[in-house]
Structure 1
C-alpha cells in the first residue's frame, strides 16, 4: 500500500511540473520584457503582442484547445510525453533570440506547449488521486505553479546585474527543468480512469463528446460557473503575472531588484498557503468558505495596493495578502472543480475549453494593459481589477458545488443519472442511489 501511495505521489509531482514550467515561463517573460524592449527597440504595442501570444495568454489558449481533445482521444500520457519537446524548442528560440521574430516564435511555441500540458496535467492528477485526498493531490499542481515564479523572481534578482544575459539564463534553467521532467515522465503509466473509459466498446467519439459540452445544460452551466471563477480571476492574475513590475512602478517602486524580491515574497507565501492551506484542508473543511476567504483576502490586498498610501506598508500588505490568497484561491479550486464536474469522456476537453477561454480573456486585456497603465494610471485600472475579483468571489462562493468527499464516479452519477462510460471504475458500494444521497459540503 505504501509503495502504491508513493507511486501516486511520484506521478502527481512529475505531471504537476507542467505548472512550474508554465508559471516559470510567464515570470521569465515578465522579468525580461523591459530588457527585450530596450535592446530590440519595441514599443508598447509590440510588448503587448509578445505578452498576449505567450504562455500567459493566446499561446497557451491555442495549446489548450488542441491538447484537451487530443488528451481525451489518445490519452493523458500522449500529451505529457510530447508537449515538453515542443516547449524545449521554444525555450531555445528565446535563449538565443537576436530579434523580435525569434523572440515571438519562442514565446508562441512555449505557450502552445504549456497550454496543452497543463490541461492534461490537471486532468491526470485528479483522476489518479485517492478519492479522499483529491484536493491534496490537485494542490501539488498549484504548489508547482507557485514555486515556479518564486524561483524565477529569485533568479531575476540575483542575475539582474547581468542584464539580458541573466534573462537568457532564466530561460535556460526552464529548458533544463523541462528536459528532466520529460525524462521522468517517460516511465509513468496512463490514467486508469481513461483506460477504463476506452476499454468500453460502446464509447463515443471524441468530437461527439466535445459537442456534448455545449449541448448539455449541466455542462454549459458548469462551464459558465468555472469561467466566472477562473476566467475573471485569471484575467487579473495574468496581468499581475506578466506586468507586475510595471504595476509596482505605477505605485512608486521603481527599483527592479526590490520589485523582484517583493515578488519572491508573494510567491513564497503562495507556496506556503497552498501547502499548509489548500492541500491540507481542501478535503477537510467546507470548500465554499475556504474559497471565499482566499478570494476576499485578494480583493483587500489589491485595494490597499491601488488606493492605500504609497510606500512599503501598502506594498508589503499586498505581497502578504495576494500571496496567501493565490494559494487558497481560484486556480486551485478551478483545477479541482473542473475535474469533478465533467465526465471522463470529455474531462480534458472541458479543461482545454476553459483554459483556452480564460487565456483569451487574459490575452485581450494584455494587448491594452500597458497602454491603459500609461493613459489612466493605476487608479483607473484598479476599478477594473477589483470589479473582476469581486465578481469571481461572488460566483465561486454562491454556486460552489457540493462534491467534497465523493468519488468522481459518484459525482458523475449524481450529475448525469448514470455513469456515461460503462467501463469506468466504480467505487465499492457506489450506486446511483448512494451517489445521490445528501452530502454536506465539508
Structure 2
C-alpha cells in the first residue's frame, strides 16, 4: 500500500520545519488569548484596546495569508519561506519585551502578518518537496504541529497562571525562540531549486494572476474554501469561546471549563497522528464520511440540549473523536492535491485569508448571539458543519479523482523526482 511506504528522514524534517508555521500560528492566537487579562491589568488597557488586539491577531493572519501566498508564487517560495519566519521572530520579541500596550500592538501586527504569510507558503514548500506517494502524510503532519502549538500555549498558561507578566513574557518568548531556531534550520534546509524564471525575479505567465481565475484553479479553490470556512466557523467558535460558553451557557466553573478543554487536548493530538498515518491511503477519505457524520451529531446534541453541561460534555467527546478526521487537516491535504501547482500558494493563501476574515467577523458577534439565544448559535453552527460535510463529499467524489486523472502519478508536473537519498533531484 502506497500510504505505508517509509518516508525518508530529510522529508520529515522539511515537513516539521514547514509545520512550524502552524505551530506559531496556533501558538500566537492562543497565547494572546491566554495573556489578554494580564496585559489588560499590567498596561491599564481599555476595553477597546483589548478588543482591538484580539481582532488584529486574526485580521493580520488573514491579510498575511493573502499577501504572503502571492509573494511566494511571484518571488520564490524558498525566499518568502525564510523571510516570513524571521519577521515572526521579530514580532514575537516585540510582544515579549513590550513596555506598553502600543508597543504590544505593533508586535502583534508584525507577528500576525508574518504568521499568515507563512501558512500557505510553508504548505506549498513541503508539497513541492514531497513525492506523490508521501504528500498526504507530510502535509497532514503540519496539523500535528498546529495541535502542539495549542497544547504548549495552554499548558504554559495553566502552569504560569499565577506569575503575571513574567509568565506572559515566557509564553510569548518561547514562540520567539522557536521562530529563531526554525529560521536557522530552514536556512540550511535542502529544497528543490526554484524554476529559472523565478530566479531572475520575473513573474512567468504560469504564475500570473490570470492563472488563478481559470476553471482548473477556481473550482478546487471554491470547494476547499466552502469546506474550510463552514467547518472553521464551528471550530473557531469553540476554539475562541469554548471556555466562555461552558461558563456562561453551561454554568460550569472557570476551573471546570478550563479542565474540560485541557483534558481533551491529548485525544486530539493522538488522533491527529492517526490521521497522518492514513493520509496517503484510501482510509483518509473513507474515515471522513464517518467522522463528518459524528461531528454533525456532536453539534446536534449540543443544540438539542441548548448548551446544558451534560450535553456539552457529550459534545466534546464526539467532537474530539471526529474533528481530526473531518477538519482542517483534510483541507490542507485536499488543497495540495487539487489546486494547480504553480498558483498553489496564491490560491490557498486566498482561501485562508477569506476564511480568517469571516472568522474574525463571526467572533465579534458570537458573545452577543450566545447571550441572546444559545440554541440559535448552536443550530447555526450545526448547519455550517452540515455544509462542510457536503463540500467535503464533493471534493472526495469529484475533485480528487479529477486531479488524479490530470496528473496520473499524482505529482506536480514541475516538481522533480526523488533521488535514492530521499531528497528531490534537480530539474533538468
Aligning the two structures, in what range does the TM-score lie when normalised by the shorter sequence?
A: 0.7 to 0.9
Which among 340, 345, 349 is matched to residue 348 of structure 1?
345
Partner of 1:393: 389
CA contact (8 A) 2:65 2:352 kept: yes
Partner of 1:245: 243
Q: How does 1:218-237 map to 2 (within 5 A)?
A: 218-237=216-235
Partner of 1:51: 54
- Tell me the secondary structure at the aligned position of residue 400 of structure 1: helix
Cα deviation, residue 302, structure 1: 3.3
Cα distance change of structure 1 residues 35 and 386 upon mapping to structure 2, 3 Å threshold: farther
Cα deviation, residue 86, structure 1: 1.6
Partner of 1:290: 287
Partner of 1:42: 46
Give the gaps of 5 or more residues in structure 1: 428-442
How far apart, in 1, do the equivalents of 2:41 and 2:312 lie? 27
Cα distance change of structure 1 residues 298 and 93 upon mapping to structure 2, 3 Å threshold: farther
Write out per-residue CA displacement over residues 417-438 of structure 1, whole angstroms, 9 at most, x where no aligned residue. Answer: xx997x65479xxxxxxxxxxx
Cα distance change of structure 1 residues 329 and 34 upon mapping to structure 2, 3 Å threshold: farther
Cα deviation, residue 377, structure 1: 4.5
Cα distance change of structure 1 residues 8 and 51 upon mapping to structure 2, 3 Å threshold: same
Which among 261, 264, 277 is matched to residue 263 of structure 1?
261
Give the gaps of 5 or more residues in structure 2: 419-428
Partner of 2:370: 373
Write out per-residue CA displacement over residues 110-168 of structure 1, whole angstroms, 9 at most, x where no aligned residue. Answer: 21111111111111222222312222111110110111111211111111222443233
TM-score, normalised relative to structure 1: 0.83
Q: How does 1:38-437 map to 2 (within 5 A)?
A: 38-39=41-42, 40-43=44-47, 46-54=49-57, 57-191=58-192, 194-195=194-195, 204-205=204-205, 209-214=208-213, 216-252=214-250, 255-276=253-274, 278-308=275-305, 313-374=310-371, 376-400=372-396, 412-413=406-407, 425=416
How far apart, in 2, do the equivalents of 1:313 and 1:148 lie? 29
RMSD: 3.3
How far apart, in 2, do the equivalents of 1:258 and 1:38 lie? 24
Q: Which stretch shifts more, 109-118 or 261-270?
A: 261-270
Cα deviation, residue 238, structure 1: 2.3
How far apart, in 2, do the equivalents of 1:242 and 1:233 lie? 14
Partner of 1:29: 32
CA contact (8 A) 1:341 1:412 kept: no
Which among 11, 15, 19 is matched to residue 16 of structure 1?
19
Q: What is the aligned length?
A: 413
How far apart, in 1, do the equivalents of 2:407 and 2:273 lie? 31
How far apart, in 1, do the equivalents of 2:396 and 2:287 lie? 11
How far apart, in 2, do the equivalents of 1:378 and 1:36 lie? 29
